[in-house]
Amino acid sequence: MSKMLLLLVLLSLLNPAVEALDNGLALKPTMGWLHWERFMCNTDCDTDPDNCISERLYMQMADMMVKDGWREAGYEYVCIDDCWPSHERDAQGRLQADPKRFPGGIKKLADYVHSKGLKLGIYADVGEKTCAGYPGSLGYYETDAQTFADWDVDLLKFDGCNLKWTLLGDGYIKMSKALNKTGRSILYSCEWPLYEWPFQTPNYTAIRETCNHWRNFNDVFDSWISIKSILDWTASHQDSIVPSAGPGGWNDPDMLVIGNFGLSHDQQESQMALWAIMAAPLLMSNDLRDICPRSKELLQNRRIIEISQDPLGKQGYRSAKGNNFEVWERPLSKNRLAVAVLNLQEIGGPRGFAISGVAGWKVCDPQCNVTLILPQYKEMGVQTKESKLILKVNPSGTALLTVTPISKDFGRIHWKDTD
């Protein structure tokens, strides 16, 4: 293990995360649905009424989240992204929804979403314009924060387009304070580091004090190349970003694209497994009205969600890479460990991986209990540090498992129960 990785592991296991934004929100990674990757900026409701950015889309997604078990699985936010507003503010300088596509307004939509036992998210931008050219919040931070509070919005995704990068920190901090000032609990999703990384290493202490989660890298696309690029970036910057994550504030590698068009099922399993290992927000961008049963089952897999939402709140990290395998490990509560083994080879068939080579396997001294979660659930039973357990991993697929240490005491087996 390299000195840098050893330091990262020690920081992750021993040190509390830096001080979080004190709004009582995002104590576990956020779960919900966000429109952008699947529906983008489709405003043509005349020819494509089922897929355009309109109140109807969000109401239907809220309906499906209740009807098909998403809410019960833990997904609670229905989030609007860019392209919802009118191109002009109202006479009082407030943002307003496009009147044709949102005839009832955002407050009515929020009431509808709340009636389903869900929460509503909305989108704005720190600069003069949003990324798609709609009115930004520059010069209107307090006005917009109060508008969102008056509408009973529960989450704000605050983008970083159309502002000089040196002003990003000031803008994000001002909006954070403005949201707090309203007195309403509004989860604050930032993109501050995404727009600062091209120029300098962001100050993650300040970011965590300001935001509930934050994007670091490029937008996700519906492709395996995109997923791999996000994983590569995260691993290569993990010494900077992993220590900042914890209850109240999380690194956001962007949306889950499971259930769309570009990923094989093995690749969908890889995204789900590794987003759970990274303690990432689980924000789906797909069409819940038309999703294949296998993708639905994966997204609602309670054992993966339990890893994602583990109360210890430690982000995982890549601990090893070689022979076209990557190993990612995440410390869990009660001294447990989650391990994801990713097969990067995209040719041939399943390949074997000796799990005893994983750094965290030392928790199996003297014994441990192993549960395989992906590609299919299986109790692997009691293992030892010397066990010759071989995992079979499909090309571009991932084996996900949990390891629970046990100890022998006077002939009886006891689960180790320390955090």
Residues with catalytic roles = 159, 219
Rounded Cα–Cα distance for residues 360 and 405 (Å): 11
| Beta carbons within 10 angstroms of residue 362's beta carbon | 12
Helices (H) and strands (E) in the chain, counts: 14, 17
CA dist 84 and 241 (Å) reads 32
401 alpha-carbon distance from chain centroid: 20
Q: How far apart are CA 199 and CA 394, in angstroms?
A: 39
Amino acid at 167: L
45 secondary structure, DSSP code = T
Encoded tokens for 59: 């109401």
Cα separation, 136 vs 148, in Å, equals 14
CB of 138 within 8 A of CB of 171? yes
Q: Which residue type does 63 have? A: D
